[in-house]
A and B are shown apart, each in its own frame.
Chain A
């Protein structure tokens, strides 16, 4: 399912003394099957963009096209459930949304809200719990008896069980340890690959953005500052650095090396393999005479 934001503007609390412009003139295309990363500082408007992707927010200007539905400021929207089912959002710290007595019930909650029968929902729950790397025994436990990392996975399973076409992730690995982070991100990436999902990742991590995304959007002060492929974005990292954003370690190292040795690598490296390759080659060539 394609999603497209066209010149979207959003203001919080319109017509009150507290009115605040959150994003303006934001245009982003997310064709089916894309892995898009949205990066930017806290307060850059990332979260506001994210909430437009399944019509949690209605733009105050511009259009949001989600599949064959068009969300605009004027129309009172009816029947948004279909959109919500097809676009699943994993919010930051999703474990805060758990509430049922058992893990199974909690995972079934989403699908059953969208009209899936209990039996089918339970089947989905079993599948989803496996996908997030937890054993089936956990289904009968109370979500509140689990460790923080397990709760996170259960909450993610609850969104996966909705079987969305598009999955939106808001900092899904915040607060996890390095192993947990890698496992969760690898899981989302393999889902993306095998199911042909569209994935939108809102993140601070340039490493994740460069490793997984095909498209990157950089948000700044409520506007789209730059968009492109990781290669495009990171081969001219000056913009990023000016905004005080990080660049991936590999890119940063390449920059440092080029500067200090006064050489140019043949391309912008995005992986450590590429980087070692390039360094080895440069070393073999030796110092410019």
Chain B
């Protein structure tokens, strides 16, 4: 079931985007989220769209892959479009059909806002499709490093994230196992009235909690035995390296931003 979900899944490939430092990717996404709001006319939106598709091309992730993964989100985008279409009552009246009236401003806003939404989703999926979760964690840890000064537990947070990532597949396997064991004891997870199905979750959830706690406990013991005593004095095995391509990518974004500012009305 989970295997069909593409959103947030790493697709290995050899591309500039894949090889970028996760920090520069994170910064890039963050800046992109900001500059999207600069666009306010056809030209600026056009530029952003071109930029986004250029990035997709660079990432070498098959478009089919992105499309199937985005299908569920697409519904949300279309919903946003209709919401604006029907609810904005400004500008010239364009079209009237029964109780529905569509105004010029509604169409404009609908298209722009849903496009903005769509571009944001595309860019963030490029990040998750080309960066392993652990790289994102490393990138975040490094970027948030200054927060250590105000005693924000950056290292602990990053470690927690990476351990959760490591245990997701293990817990999925476990869920499957317990479901089968309870099915063999007469539980029906897949059919029957909703009330029954909600009740069926309990024999699944409790064993899962119990085993997760046990795992957490054993893991803590194992980590201590392996000399873990917090972030202090720790060296790092994974290294991030900021290269020319990272600077270049950010420079390109800066250029796009500049043009955006010039073209917006």
Contacts and interface: CB of A to CB of B under 8 A. Distances in A.
A13 interface: yes
B46 interface: no
Interface string B166-203: 00000000100110111111111000000000000011
A113 B3 CA distance: 31
A52 to B, nearest CB: 12
Given A51-B180, A96-B181, A96-B211, A16 B186 contact: no
Interface in A93-121: 94, 96-99, 109-110, 113-114
A269 interface: no
Contacts of A158: 185
B4 interface: yes
Nearest to B200: A113
B172 to A, nearest CB: 13
Given A96-B207, A97-B207, A98-B207, A16 B184 contact: no
A63 interface: no
Given A91-B181, A96-B177, A96-B178, A114 B207 contact: no
B225 interface: no
Interface string A15-53: 010100000000000000000000000000000000100
B4 A16 contact: yes
B186 A85 contact: yes
Contact of B207 (A18, A89, A99): A99
A263 B4 CA distance: 61
Nearest to A51: B180
B177 A99 contact: no
A162 interface: yes
A250 to B, nearest CB: 34
Contacts of A248: none
A114 B187 CA distance: 9
B207 A110 contact: no
B206 interface: yes
A54 B185 contact: no
Given A16-B4, A81-B186, A110-B186, A99 B202 contact: yes
Nearest to A97: B181
A230 interface: no
Interface in A238-267: none
Contacts of A51: 180
A158 B185 CA distance: 8
A91 B185 contact: no
A85 B4 CA distance: 33
Contacts of A88: 184
B158 to A, nearest CB: 30
A81 B186 CA distance: 6
B210 interface: yes
Nearest to B181: A97
A114 B185 CA distance: 8
6 contacts: A56-B183, A84-B183, A96-B210, A97-B182, A98-B210, A144-B210
Given A91-B177, A114-B186, A159-B185, 10 more contacts: A18-B3, A56-B180, A84-B185, A84-B186, A89-B184, A96-B174, A96-B181, A97-B182, A110-B185, A113-B185
Q: Which 6 A-B pairs have the closest CB atoms?
A: A113-B186, A99-B206, A110-B185, A97-B181, A89-B184, A91-B181
